[in-house]
Each structure stands twice: as structure tokens, then as C-alpha cells.
Structure 1
């Protein structure tokens, strides 16, 4: 029996498979219109493919929809190391999933949080446009772009630039706790329950409880996903490289995101050949808060670039 989704639409689960890559088995899920353009959905921490449960119903009529659980989350396995959570490996995982889809045309991508961060690495690789037709990113910057932006704020030395640098540093202070080892793992083992996380999202993000979709594996996913922070923050943000993409990109920027300040995208034009920016009055978890907005924005951008060489 299919599991009901919002608006009474059925979950059209057409096919499931796994992708073996670098010591992990990634669980991949396909639904929607098999004759439509392919869109790949990539979640972040501490979510699974269920992040998109509210978005998918607005996509399935027009698109072949592919989602997956990233390494160490949900039904996907991992080796249990910090090194395997480096952005380069997660981008390799994403590209392996794209390859397994065997689409006739380059795929479109919709990603959130660390899902966006890893896709940024993929779209900035040479020849990325041959496999990726468009990229819609929510609340997940390239860590290299973030690092370059923070450097630019310090070198500018204007009050506005220094204020932007300071507010982003303050917004990112939580990552120090996440990278501190035993303490955050113990914290999330105790407090990372579905009830408490749902309560957090309802209070802080003002999300209707009916729009919050959490996996049974949430606590394990929280703990496992902490390795992403340890593997990437310092070595990338503090030592960034120039990373450019020719893949058409759309940014949905929540103006109330407590983790990623909107100003941090102010230099994005220098790293992208084509970028559309849409600011949204929302917190970090926009796919939960306004799934129809996410679906409509992604659909419009995909339609704009369908069939584009």
C-alpha cells in the first residue's frame, strides 16, 4: 500500500535500487513521470530523502523524480570514518547516483543544506554541464565560495564588511560544538529524538507539524552526520580555492536562516556563469516550511533550462 503524502497525493514509488560506491551502499528511490525530465533531490543534515516528501507531490506529474539517502543516513550505509564524509567523496556519491539513473539528458538537481554543499562541488568540476542541466540550491553554499567571501570581508575592512563577517562567524559557531567529538554525539543520542526535533522545528522554524517528515533513523543520522562537519569546515572554509561553474544555478535564499547569512552569497556572480537569486521569508528548513514554493521555483527553473545544451 502506498503511503499518503500531503494534499492526498499517493507516493508513486516506481523503483528502488542501491548504488555501491567507495564502501557505501546508497539507497535510491524513483517515482513520478518516467517520460519527464529527470530531477535529483539531495538532502542535508540530519535529514533523509523524506525531507522532500512535501515537495515531491508537486513534481511527480511532470518529472522523473529521483531521491536518495546520502552516505550514513537513512537506509544508506557507510564505513563509519570521518574521511569518507569529505565533500569530494559526497560529490562522488552524488555523481554515482546520477550515473545510475541513466537519463537520456543531463539531470536537474534540487538540493538543501549539506546536500547543496556537496552538489556545489560536483557542479564546479570540469564538464559538469554534460551531466547536470540545472541546479537549484537552498541554504547550502559552496564552502570554497564561503571561504573566499569571508576573506573578502576581512580585506575590505569597511564597517559593513566586518559586520557581515562577524555575523556569519557568530551564525556558524554551532559548528564548533558539532565538531567537538564525544559531547555532541552524546547530546544527540539523548535529545535527538523525533519528538524533540519536531518540536524544535515547530518552535524555531514555525513549521506546521503536518509538514515535518522525519525518518525512523533520525537519532542515528544526527550522530553519523556530525562527521560531515569535522571532515570539511576547517580545511575548506579556512583554505578555499577558486571554484567556478557553468551549470545554470538558482539560489533560494531564506532571509531568516540562522546558519547561513544571506549576505554570504553577495559575491556569487563571480563563481557562476548564470545565477538566478530569489530571497524567501523563511528559516533554514524551507522544504518543510513551504514545499509548494520550493516545487514551483524548481519547476520554473527546470522548464527554463529543459533541452538547453
Structure 2
């Protein structure tokens, strides 16, 4: 059984948090991405709850969770701090961390910054920061695929969003990245979540707050030195699950991951798009359960 709790954090925000399983079991946190919620994990939560204590928050800015004003409140360090505060709230010292899309970006950072707390990492279609920034400079196809980020940063369509505008967002910008159809029930859930006061602006602020450089197609931008130098190795065992039909985050983003993660496992989902947690939920859940079981048995 999944319970939805409202949790006030020491970071000053309140999050809706889906909780399932026995608190005595090993804890696992699930972080969703844009433009979703804990509903991303609707297929994984019941399965994982058989063996784990599952915690899946609606991250700041999403659904009914707090939406602090100002772009600066959505820089990646803020949701990382929320994650650690959420673990503290439940009295959890160390845990497995799973992240998809923006949730994966936060998971990469949390794993690097808190290696004693994040003991295992699972990433779904979320690029490693160094590889992503490098490909945005060196790979024309990935640069082209990422131009939507520039639009999300510059658009003002989130101001005064109406029901009709949300429908247009769903049928154009969202649906074009899907490799599966969305049920009427799930569509209704998206529209309710996006229609919460300030939600669309808060969600887009995640893109506006990041320091990641996305050059225009013909733009000549100074190359950041950090993308070619040494980068800290990922300290925890890491499973990467990647849908190869993702049109926004291309398979080239897997290049070099094995050099950055000493304990690295990759599962490719050949026919999976970006939203594999629910588009290809059976394959994702099977890979996740298998990997977690193997790690436990070691």
C-alpha cells in the first residue's frame, strides 16, 4: 500500500512524498524528472516495496509540493539538499538512490557529494554532467537534440497558463518525446499536476537555474576547461538503464561512462524512449530488481 505524506523539510519546503514498504527494510529513494511526479514510479513502487522501504517525493516545484519563487531556488544544490533533509526526516543514514531525467541529474550530484549516504546509484536516461556538457560542444546531433533547453529557458508561455495551453503543451512538446501512448487517466493526472498554481514556471525554473551551457547550433561559445580535465569518479556501484530511442538524450551520452564509474553496469533498452520508467516498466523493473538482488547477495 502506498501512502502519500506531506513532509516539511529543514530546507524550508514541503514535499508530497509517496511512501511504501516496511521501514525496517533497506531504504530506496526514487527521484522523478520533468515534467512528472512520483507517479513516474507507479509500476516500480509496489514491486520494490516487497523488499525495500520506498520513498518517492514530488520534488520542489512539481505537483503540489512547495514552489518557492525565484529561479535561484531551483539550482541543483537545492533539490540535493531536499533529498538529504528528507532522509534525515525519516531517520535514514544511508540509502540506494534512483533517478530519472532531472531526478537522475540530482542523483549524480548527490552520489558525488554524499558518498557515505548514497551507497548505490541507479540512473535512468539522465546524462553524466561532464559527458553531457562535452557532447553539447562536440556532438552536433546532441546539440541539436538539446535545443529545447534553450526554449525552456527563454519562453514565457508559463506565464498565465490556461487549461488550453496545458493541453497544447501535452500534445506537442510532451508527446513528441514519448515512445508510448498515455492513458486518459494518466493524461488527466499530468494536467492536474501542471495546473497547480505556479507549477509550470517552477518546473521550467529547473532548466533556467542550471549552469549547463547549451550552445545554439551555429553559436561559438568558449569551451569550459572542466569538461576536458579530470573528473571525480563515481564512488558507488552504479546501474545505468537507458532507452536508446530517446530523442532528447541520445545514446552518445553513454560514451565514456565506464571510465568514470569503477563499478558500472549498463542495461540498454533498445525500443525504449525517454520515459522508460513507465513506457518500458517491465524491463526497467526487472533490471532494477535483478541488480539490487545481485548487490544484496554480494
2-structure distance, mates of 1:79, 1:262: 34
After superposition, residues 67-78 of structure 1 pair within 5 angstroms as 67-78=56-67
Which secondary structure state, in structure 1, belongs to the residue aligned with residue 108 of structure 2? helix
Partner of 2:103: 115
Alpha carbons of structure 1 residues 204 and 40: separation in structure 2 relative to 1, 3 Å = closer
1-structure distance, mates of 2:185, 2:51: 22
The answer to whether residue 274 in structure 2 is matched with residue 284 in structure 1 is: yes
**Which residue of 116, 120, 124 maps to 1:130?**
116
> What is the number of equivalent residue pairs in this alignment?
282
- Using the size of structure 2 for normalisation, the TM-score is 0.83
Which secondary structure state, in structure 2, belongs to the residue aligned with residue 146 of structure 1? helix
1-structure distance, mates of 2:205, 2:60: 11
2-structure distance, mates of 1:185, 1:257: 29
Query: Cα deviations across residues 91-122 of structure 1 (Å, max 9, x unaligned)?
Result: 11122222223236x21122111000011111
User: RMSD of aligned C-alpha atoms?
Assistant: 3.0
Query: Cα deviations across residues 57-108 of structure 1 (Å, max 9, x unaligned)?
Result: 222222211110101112210321101111122211122222223236x211
After superposition, residues 71-220 of structure 1 pair within 5 angstroms as 71-103=60-92, 106-125=94-113, 128-150=114-136, 154=138, 165-183=139-157, 185=159, 190-193=164-167, 196=170, 201=175, 204-207=178-181, 209=183, 212=186, 214-215=189-190, 216-220=192-196
Alpha carbons of structure 1 residues 102 and 302: separation in structure 2 relative to 1, 3 Å = farther
Gaps of 5+ in 1: 1-11, 155-164
Which secondary structure state, in structure 2, belongs to the residue aligned with residue 56 of structure 1? helix
| 1:22 CA displacement | 3.1
Tell me if structure 1 keeps the 8 A contact 2:146–2:249.
yes
1-structure distance, mates of 2:168, 2:135: 35
Partner of 1:6: none
Partner of 2:284: 294
| 1:233 CA displacement | 4.8
Alpha carbons of structure 1 residues 112 and 180: separation in structure 2 relative to 1, 3 Å = same
Alpha carbons of structure 1 residues 15 and 43: separation in structure 2 relative to 1, 3 Å = closer
Which secondary structure state, in structure 1, belongs to the residue aligned with residue 154 of structure 2? coil
